[in-house]
Amino acid sequence: MSLTDATIAELHELAGRYPQSRSALLPMLHLVQSAEGNVTNEGIEICADILGISAAEVSGVSTFYTMYKRRPMGEHHVGVCTNTLCAVMGGDVIFERLKEHLEVGNDETTEDGKVTLEHIECNAACDFAPVMTVNWEFFDNQTPASAIDLVDKLRAGETVQATRGATITSWREAERVLAGFEDGRADEGPAAAGPSLVGLEIAAERGWRAPTAGDTKKASTSSKVEADSKVEAVEKADTSRAETETKIEESPADTAKEGDDD
């Protein structure tokens, strides 16, 4: 599959959004994936040409970040967090059950092309462990049974709603959003819920608030005054010590003792 003229025009559009065009490389690679299903050699060459950098530089970026795929992806990307907390809460078991159920290994795609399964690192959602993602949307507090039910619905083409996010479309459509082209689904589902809001609720109950710019300035001034006072105290102590040592050196008793020795 070759990139269409429309997609190439959008790649140029992305490059034009940044003061330094090469800053657009990450969203451009997401756009390539949305069009071709993975980062292709053609996509790398075109990105390099648009940005005026080498293909090797583009390739280096595409192989460094795990969200960029060099092999064709399934219709849906299912990620299972197997980092520490999710793992001990059941993530490892979920991942093993899904591998058995889908008959695939890590980073492999089912025969029907519907699901690519991958174990992924921390999603910064530890308060909802164990966590899965579908096309980068969250599915919280999973179990082996709920995970299997989820992938079965995806393969059957049923409508699936993320726990905290949008209705699931496809991996390619999600990649287009990551590239910077909105799909109108940003307000679907809660962005935060449950455990994530506990700290905010406690702060409201106790009247706590974040410091303002004025508070920060006062704290800075106070800290400076305190630091200056400490420096002054140290300087006084050093002066007092020096005076004491001078008096000791000039002690009459020591002078008389030296005269007796002579």
CATH number of 76-170+183-200: 3.40.30.10
Q: What is the mean pLDDT of residues 236-242?
A: 68
Residue 46 is predicted with a pLDDT of 97
Q: Determine the Cα–Cα distance for residues 167 and 184; give it in Å rounded to an integer.
A: 11
Residue 253 is predicted with a pLDDT of 53
Burial class of residue 60 (count of CB atoms within 10 Å of its CB; 0-12, 13-18, 19+): exposed
Cis peptide bond upstream of 130, omega within 30: yes
Q: Which CATH architecture has domain 5-64?
A: Orthogonal Bundle (1.10)
Residue 248 is predicted with a pLDDT of 54
Query: 164: number of CA atoms within 13 Å, CB side?
Result: 16
> How confident is the model over 152-204, as pLDDT tens digits?
999 999 999 999 889 999 999 999 999 999 988 888 877 777 888 888 899 99
- What separation in angstroms does the CA of 160 have from each of 64, 76, 86, 132, 170? 31, 12, 22, 13, 11
Question: Phi and psi at residue 169, in whole multiples of 5°?
Answer: -105, -95
Whether the per-residue pLDDT at 246 is higher than 80: the answer is: no
- For every residue of 213-226, DSSP letters joined together read HHHHHHHHHHHHHH
Residue 2 is predicted with a pLDDT of 83
Residue 165 is predicted with a pLDDT of 87
Q: What is the mean pLDDT of residues 8-12?
A: 98
Please give the single-letter amino acid code of residue 155. R
